Amino acid sequence: MSENSTPSPKEIADQLKKRVIGQTEALQEMSIALSKKLAGLSVGNLLMIGSSGTGKTTVMRAVEGYLAARPHLALRSTVVRMHANVLGEEAVKGHSGEAVLRRLLDRAREQLGPETGVETLLSQAQNGIVFVDEVDKIRSHISGEPHTTGIRAQEALLTLIENEAVPFTLPAWAGGKMLTVDSSGILFVCGGAFEGLYDSVFDRVTVGKDRGALKPVTTVEDGMVTEKLVFQLRDWLKSEDLFDYGMSPQFLSRFDAVVLLADLTVDELIRIFLETPDSGYQQARSFFESRGMHLVLSPDAVRRVATEAARENRLGARALKEVFRRVIRHFEFDPKPNGPDGSLLLDLQEVEEALRPG
Ligand SMILES: Nc1ncnc2c1ncn2[C@@H]1O[C@H](COP(=O)(O)OP(=O)(O)O)[C@@H](O)[C@H]1O
Ligand SMILES: [Mg+2]
């Protein structure tokens, strides 16, 4: 591809897939947004909602990694990633949206070099991408009480999103002057787990305001007729549920797309376990290699780890590490090969033994 052409959404997604397993819809939306952004077009902001450990932060990091590996693209759009909490703290101190712009400007300076003119740096910052992680932490109320940091942080973001005239004081290194900047070209991608949202929407459509909306489906299993409620958040989530959660209507209206990340399947967990570079499995392999040993897990052993992890659905893929620690701890403590050529072979039996309670 030539330096001047813009990668298509599909080309971008194919690269992001090397880091993110599953989550096809989120990768599609993200790739479309990024492709448009890199082409200099205007792009709607994106909100990603998904349970903890389903890959929200991983998607953001994959985009950062994608750009970092392609300097000619990275120069077209400066990226910063921040925790919504930090934004909340800054908002309370009164810096509001300025802190975000400052970060973009600093990052642009790192990218383009300190000798670059302020005008150039500003235009770079005004076309940046801002990832706001854990955006659910800036809800406007928590258990019925107003949450000031959250309210202020949402307001701070509102001053930036789609705003053509944001008052901004340049940092000292840039002269400290006050000016107005157009931040409407910044792409915001926010992500959060919104814990409790699933339950509150389920309640709304079963016993709450819209009681009876979710109808039981009749299934026949082993000759028995049973009625089941099949609930998927994506089928029922409405803007009001997010307002009730504590995201203000004004704030939400700034997002063109809300993407729900799916809970990971056992097969996806297996792929995350085997293929991602920082997985517990890869870390253990490196450890055994450093001791001159080769770790081999049978497919049944791997599936057993993933199945156990899938049971802890509040942790998502993070459960893989925790489960695998329990399995591998004992072998790492006193590494002894049990197979040919210094290999350590773990089969279903070893995993079962390690996971047995007590
Ligand atoms: N879809 C995924 N693809 C690849 N790795 C994932 C995925 N989801 C989670 N992980 C792994 O699980 C861990 C937690 O994922 P993370 O993206 O931080 O979750 P969260 O959705 O809570 O931000 C990371 O180590 C990451 O490598
Ligand atoms: Mg995260």
Ligand 1 within 6 A of CB of 262 = no
Ligand 1 within 6 A of CB of 16 = no
What CATH class does 9-197+236-260 carry? Answer: alpha beta
130 touches 189 (CB < 8 A): yes
Ligand 1 within 6 A of CB of 56 = yes
Which ligand gives the minimal distance to the CA of 56? 1
Token pair belonging to 325: 């620690």
Helices 56-68 and 9-16, packing angle to 10 deg: 110
Per-residue 3-state assignment (H helix, E strand, C coil) for 140-173: CEECCEECHHHHHHHHHHHHHCCCCCEEEECCHH
Mean pLDDT of 158-183: 90
135 touches 56 (CB < 8 A): no
For ligand 1, atom 19: residue with the closest CA: 53
In the DSSP assignment, the letter for residue 337 is -
Q: How far does residue 228's CA lie from ligand 2's centre (Å)?
A: 32
- The predicted-structure confidence for 267-301, as pLDDT tens digits, reads as follows 999 999 999 999 999 999 999 999 999 999 999 99
**Is 60 exceeded by the pLDDT of residue 1?**
no
Range with the poorest average pLDDT among 2-6, 247-251, 316-320: 2-6
For ligand 1, atom 14: residue with the closest CA: 53
The answer, as to whether pTM is greater than 0.85, is yes
Average pLDDT, whole number, for the chain?
A: 93
Q: How far does residue 204's CA lie from ligand 2's centre (Å)?
A: 27
Ligand 1 pocket test, pick from 54, 135, 264 with the greatest ligand atom count within 8 Å of Cβ, gives 54
Query: Pick the residue with more confidence: 340 or 2?
Result: 340
Can you give the length of the chain in residues?
Answer: 358
Give the SS3 label for residue 57: helix
Ligand 1 within 6 A of CB of 50 = yes
Nearest to 256, CA basis, from 192, 187, 181: 187
Range 266-355 classified under CATH 1.10.3210.10: no
- The predicted-structure confidence for 303-331, as pLDDT tens digits, reads as follows 999 999 999 878 999 999 999 999 999 99
Give me the half-sphere count of Cα atoms (radius 13 Å) on the Cβ side of residue 288.
Answer: 26
Atom of ligand 1 nearest to the CA of 50: 21
20 touches 255 (CB < 8 A): no
Portions of the chain given CATH number 3.40.50.300: 9-197+236-260
In the structure, ligand 2 is a single-atom ion and the residues with CB under 5 Å from it are 56-57
71 touches 37 (CB < 8 A): no
Q: How far does residue 261's CA lie from ligand 1's centre (Å)?
A: 11
For ligand 1, atom 17: residue with the closest CA: 55
Q: How far does residue 313's CA lie from ligand 1's centre (Å)?
A: 13
Nearest to 130, CA basis, from 168, 170, 90, 87: 87
In the DSSP assignment, the letter for residue 31 is H
Mean pLDDT of 333-356: 93
Helices 24-38 and 9-16, packing angle to 10 deg: 130
First to last CA, the chain: 57
157 touches 87 (CB < 8 A): yes
Strands of the sheet containing 187-192, edge to edge, are 79-83, 129-133, 187-192, 45-49, 255-260
Portions of the chain given CATH number 1.10.8.60: 266-355
Q: How far does residue 44's CA lie from ligand 1's centre (Å)?
A: 24
Token pair belonging to 320: 């893989």
pLDDT at position 78 is 95
- Confidence grade of residue 223 (pLDDT, cut at 50, 70, 90): confident
Ligand 1 within 6 A of CB of 61 = no
Which ligand gives the minimal distance to the CA of 52? 1
Q: How far does residue 55's CA lie from ligand 1's centre (Å)?
A: 4
Token pair belonging to 13: 């997604």
**Is 70 exceeded by the pLDDT of residue 113?**
yes
Q: How far does residue 80's CA lie from ligand 1's centre (Å)?
A: 19
- Confidence grade of residue 2 (pLDDT, cut at 50, 70, 90): low
